[in-house]
Structure 1
Amino acid sequence: MIVELSHRVHDGLVTYPGIPAPRLGVHLSREDSRTLYAPGTEFHIATITLAANTGTYVDTPFHRYPDGPDLAGTPLDRLADLPGLVVRAEGPGRAVTVDRGLDVRGKAVLVHTGWDRHFGTDAYVGGHPYLAPESAAWLAEQGAALVGIDSLNIDDTPPHGERPAHTILLAAGIPLVEHLTNLAALPEEGFRLHAAPPMIAGMGTFPVRAYAVL
């Protein structure tokens, strides 16, 4: 069984306030292609202009650190076919902590907050849940392979701009996947996560088609 974990990207999608929405266009229409190919043969070639932080995307260390691995330099074994583990947010607070009794080494740790229900609305931006900095430090120490969340950001987003989870996890070479969805459909364990981006040099973030295989 395959479980979709990505938001659909479409023309005009607002993922994060202040980041431009993607714009879709046409390089070659089906009508124009008919003049280039044999009768009955036609193609459509689209264009897209988008910021790298659009929809469900991965952050690699280069996003935070100039000397860190970029999309092309991040090993596939950090992005694909990873044993997965879901951490369910509990309690009224926004900061999500991870149970230190869990075995997270070499695993994709996905933080399920349920905040994805607000994606695409104004409610998604304000008061979102995030990973507690002390849990980010523990995940780095324990050797998690990847960390993801179904919220606006894995960090709290106050005006002063501190991003401790990004700072800690990306320094440890741990990719982050933000704006996940449908984590409620996953068991706590017993699945493999795939969230690989295109192999682009010189970029630190990019949308992914994240999914889990049960």
Structure 2
Amino acid sequence: MIVELSHRIHDGMITYPGVPAPRLGVHLSREDSREVYAPGTEFHIGTITLAANTGTYLDTPHHRYADGPDLSQVPLAKLADLPGLVARATAGERAVHVDRTLDVRGRAVLIHTGWDRHFGTEAYFHDHPYLSPESAAWLAGQGATLVGIDSLNIDDTPPHGERPAHSILLAAGIPLVEHLTGLEALPPDGFRFHAAPPMVAGMGTFPVRAYAVVP
């Protein structure tokens, strides 16, 4: 079974306050293509303008650190076919503390808060759950391969802009996936996780089609 874990990207959607919405357009319409190709043959070529932090997206170390690996430099071994593990937050818990009895080494650790139920609404932007700095440090120390969350941000988002979970995990070379959805459909473990972006040089973030393969 394949479980979809990404939000659908559509024209005008808002992922994060202040980040511009994606705009979809047309480079070549089906009607215009009829003048280029043989009778009965037509194509559509679309365009999209978007900020890299749109929908469900991956953060690489380059997002936080100028000398960190970018989208073209993070190996697929850190992004695809990873053994997955779900860490479920306690109901009402904002600063999520990961259960330290979990074996996270070499795994994609996906933090299930249920906040994705608010995606697309004003409520999604306020008082969202996030990973506690202590748990971020523990995950880095235990050798997690990737960390994801189904919330607005893996960090709290106060006005002063501190981002300890980003700083800790990306410094350890651990990619992050934010704005996941559908984690309630996954078992605690035993699945494989995939979230590979295009190989864009010089960029630190990009949308992904995140999904899990459950036996």
Alignment TM class, shorter chain as reference:
over 0.9
1:185-196 equivalent positions in 2, closer than 5 A: 185-196=185-196
Measured in 2, the distance between the counterparts of 1:4 and 1:29 equals 30
The alpha-carbon deviation at position 139 of structure 1 amounts to: 0.3
Measured in 2, the distance between the counterparts of 1:133 and 1:205 equals 21
1:1-214 equivalent positions in 2, closer than 5 A: 1-214=1-214
The Cα offsets for residues 135-185 of structure 1, whole Å up to 9 and x where unpaired, read as 000000011000000000000000110000000000000000000000000
| SS at 2:138 equivalent | helix
Measured in 2, the distance between the counterparts of 1:106 and 1:72 equals 21
> What amino acid maps onto 2:70 in structure 1?
D
Measured in 2, the distance between the counterparts of 1:34 and 1:102 equals 58
The Cα offsets for residues 186-205 of structure 1, whole Å up to 9 and x where unpaired, read as 00001000000001000000
Runs of 4+ in 1 over 6 A off after TM superposition: none
Which runs of 5 or more structure 1 residues have no equivalent in the other structure? none
- TM-score when normalising by structure 1: 0.99
Which runs of 5 or more structure 2 residues have no equivalent in the other structure? none
The Cα offsets for residues 21-54 of structure 1, whole Å up to 9 and x where unpaired, read as 0000000000000000000000000000000000
The alpha-carbon deviation at position 91 of structure 1 amounts to: 4.2
| SS at 1:110 equivalent | strand
| SS at 1:11 equivalent | coil
- TM-score when normalising by structure 2: 0.99
Q: Count the aligned residue pairs.
A: 214
| SS at 1:135 equivalent | helix
User: Percent identity of the aligned residues?
Assistant: 82
Measured in 1, the distance between the counterparts of 2:95 and 2:67 equals 30
